[in-house]
A and B are shown apart, each in its own frame.
Chain A
Amino acid sequence: MKLTALETLGFRTVNLVAHLGRMAAFIGAIAMQTVRPPWRVRRFVGEVFDVGVLSLAIVCLSGATVGAVLGLQGYTTLARFGAENSLGAVVGLSLVRELGPVLTALLVTGRAGSAMAAEIASMVTTEQLDGLRMMSIDPVDFVVKPKALAMLVSMPMLNALFICFALFGGYLVGVELLGVDGGTYVTSMENAITWEDDVAGTLLKSVIFGGLVGFIATYRGYTATPTSAGVSAATTGTVVVGSVTVLLFDYIITALWGV
């Protein structure tokens, strides 16, 4: 049967609304299982290990590198205006307000989000989730909830570690290599960064990003087509959609709350 243009539009709209509804229902299910026992503490701890501890190396290394590059670039630019003494403020502010939460979220999406989606998707493919349902265990409670919550909890901590390592990297390059005075660097950084405007903002951003990436990864895995192509599509989809969503929400949060 050939649909008219108007019918196609209606069909698409209904599909979109249904899709949004499924997403909301999924979030609702996770939230419901979160406030209801069993708490699944052991599985949660295991997931924090997978998301947080195993991402530590890449997050800390990237942090130090990004900080060092910022110190180098910032110095070159500031030196043109004879304002090298503001290097600490430039490095600190750009890291805390913007680069820390965004880069951490992108790294964790690639490192842990993809693995999370692939794991759930292959459980769908091999009918393990159906097996859980057979034993009247809700897969959202047993599999999805610990993973999504682990992402939510780990992200702010990884973000803070990223920023600390980056500040250290920037200090090494700016002070030890380029000869900016150490006290000036630290003082200009501490003067520029405030708790209310900057540090609270970075924590807010990383919590929101953690929730988003956790949701996207588990949702893509949970709704994967049960084939091997479906597993790879869920993994790719998580990285692509997760990264774009993080960048988009970064703009929205900055525009709304100015952090």
Chain B
Amino acid sequence: MQPSATRDLIVGLFVAIGLAAIAYLSIQVGGLSYKGPGGLRLYAVFDEIGGLKTRAPVAIAGVTVGQVIAIDLDDALRARVTLDIDPRLHLPSDTSAGIRTSGLLGDQFIALEPGAEETTLAGGEEIAMTESALSIERLIGKFVQNSGVK
């Protein structure tokens, strides 16, 4: 066995590296995917959210500015999505939210499209204009109906 002091040092180093690895897995890998500043809570109500999950990114023009932190049903049985967004943004009050898919098979995310109003959205407010998730099955169904195929 090695001299005691050296051995203790090496064991201490091992424990430090081990704990750092656990912390890395917990915070970086297992943590939230959006690491920018949050704090601005907004709500958006959708008829259909498709496969949207919590932790899904919220993006403006493709730039991630926040994430979905909760999805639940409101009193009218529609999906109520809670968004956590960078508070430094001044979103016009007629901003609209839509559920998009990144690529054909990718995950779903929420795309915000800023409007033109002078007033801005404050925390706790609801985004009035929403666009539900695109369901390919429904789309094909509509197409088949309209084209009159029997």
Interface of A toward B, CB cutoff 8 Å: 42, 45-46, 48-49, 52-53, 56, 81-83, 85-86, 92, 96, 154, 156-158, 160-161, 163-164, 167, 187-191, 193-195, 198-200, 202-203
Contacts of B103 in A (CB 8 A): 85
Binds A, one of B29-37, B85-93, B121-129: B29-37
> Which of A85, A160, A198, A200 sits near B21, CB closer than 8 Å?
A160
Chain B 1-31 interface 0/1 with A at a Cβ cutoff of 8 Å (1 = within): 1101001101100110111011011101111
What number of A-B contacts does a CB cutoff of 8 Å give? 86
Q: Are B106 and A85 in contact (CB under 8 A)?
A: yes
In the bound complex, CA of A158 to CA of B8 (Å): 18
Interface CB pairs A-B, < 8 A, 16: A45-B8, A49-B1, A52-B11, A52-B15, A53-B10, A82-B105, A157-B15, A157-B22, A160-B21, A160-B25, A163-B25, A194-B30, A199-B25, A199-B30, A200-B30, A202-B25
Q: Are A195 and B30 in contact (CB under 8 A)?
A: yes
Q: Which residue of B2, B26, B31, B33 has the most chain A CB atoms within 10 A of its CB atom?
A: B33
- Residue of B with least CB distance to A42: B4
Q: Are A96 and B18 in contact (CB under 8 A)?
A: no
Interface residues on B, range: 20 to 34
Contacts of A193 in B (CB 8 A): 29-30
| Chain A to chain B: the 3 pairs with minimum beta-carbon distance, closest first | A157-B18, A199-B30, A160-B21
Q: Are A190 and B15 in contact (CB under 8 A)?
A: no
In the bound complex, CA of A160 to CA of B22 (Å): 5
Q: Are A157 and B21 in contact (CB under 8 A)?
A: yes
In the bound complex, CA of A48 to CA of B1 (Å): 12
A49-B14, A199-B26, A200-B30 known; 17 new pairs, CB 8 Å cut-off, are A48-B15, A49-B7, A53-B10, A53-B11, A82-B104, A82-B105, A85-B106, A157-B18, A160-B22, A163-B21, A188-B107, A189-B29, A190-B29, A195-B26, A195-B30, A199-B29, A199-B30
Contacts of A86 in B (CB 8 A): 105
In the bound complex, CA of A204 to CA of B4 (Å): 32
Contacts of A157 in B (CB 8 A): 14-15, 17-19, 21-22
Contacts of B107 in A (CB 8 A): 188, 191
